[in-house]
Amino acid sequence: MKIHLTSVFVDDQAKAEHFYTEILGFVKKHDVPVGETDRWLTVVSPDEPDGTEILLEPAGHPAVAAYRDALIKDGIPLAQFAVDNVHTEYERLLGLGVRFTQEPMEMGPVTTAILDDTCGNLIMIATQPQ
């Protein structure tokens, strides 16, 4: 068993597509209209084009708002993405105007930082020792 797809609920799919591709550097894999306004919109790592997909899923379900609001209130990230070097990625993303809620922090052997994805979520980036 392996993870094939996971969802990140987003307020605006076009805004999410821009942030996740143009800012974070993911690559769009699928973009299929679903209904009148929504899309089956997935992104993948350019390093693993056949790897795990992230579905940028519309946040329309009534349970989503309460769930995301509680996570944000408590500073809990919805997802974690691996990066080669948190400090380097932090500086790159700051230069692109990304807002961080946690600067790079050493947590034992792991270095993390938390950013706002502009679409209603906190996302952690992390570097783990090789």
The side-by-side arrangement of strands in the sheet containing 38-44 is 5-10, 53-58, 38-44, 27-34
Q: What domains can you pick out in the chain, each with its CATH number?
A: 5-127 (3.10.180.10)
Joined together, the tokens standing for residue 49 give: 């084009």
pLDDT digits (tens, 9 = 90+) for 35-81: 999 999 999 999 999 999 999 999 999 999 999 999 999 999 999 99
pLDDT digits (tens, 9 = 90+) for 83-113: 999 999 999 999 999 999 999 999 999 999 9
Cβ contact 60:11 at 8 Å: no
pTM of the model: 0.94
